[in-house]
């Protein structure tokens, strides 16, 4: 158990809809990262937050957005969903103080768009 918690574990929704994926980082971790893994793309970095502020952005679509709240949990919002958005979405967290910023991953949220 990495200590990173993601909900929901599985989600099925229709095209055009909007979903929110939630991540609780390890206790005290200030950095949160979001990754997408689809069958043909491997693990793709989407976005990183550090202590509530966006720190780095990867290949995140404009239809996707994220935020990190004062209690350090994070949400990834996916809107106007398309079939191609079906993927595993991973959240990860890290802490300089606790682990020299080694990144630990949650078990992911499976999103299926039908």
Taking the CA atoms of residue 50, residue 4, residue 78 and residue 9 in that order, the dihedral angle to the nearest 10 degrees is: 180
Q: How far is the CB of 16 from other proteins (least distance, A)?
A: 26
Site string for other proteins, 11-40 (x = CB under 8 A): -------------------xx-x-x-x---
64 binds other proteins (CB under 8 A): no
* Nearest residue to 34 via CA among 95, 3, 75: 75
Q: Give the largest Cα separation in the chain, rounded.
A: 42
CB atoms closer than 10 angstroms to residue 97: 9
Binding test (CB under 8 A) with other proteins, winner from 45, 61, 65, 79: 45
Residues near other proteins (CB under 8 A): 2, 4, 30-31, 33, 35, 37, 42-45, 48, 50, 55-56, 58, 88, 90, 92, 94, 96, 100-108
């Amino acid at each position: 158990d990495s200590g990173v918690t993601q909900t929901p574990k599985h989600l099925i929704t229709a095209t055009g809809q909007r979903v929110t994926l939630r991540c609780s980082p390890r206790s005290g971790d200030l950095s949160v990262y979001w990754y997408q893994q689809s069958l043909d793309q491997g693990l793709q970095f989407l976005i990183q937050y550090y202590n509530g502020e966006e720190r780095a952005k990867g290949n995140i679509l404009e239809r996707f957005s994220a935020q990190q709240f004062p209690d350090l949990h994070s949400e990834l919002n996916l809107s106007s969903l398309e079939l191609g958005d079906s993927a595993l979405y991973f959240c990860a967290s890290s802490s300089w103080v606790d682990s020299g910023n080694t990144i630990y991953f949650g078990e992911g949220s499976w999103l299926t768009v039908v």
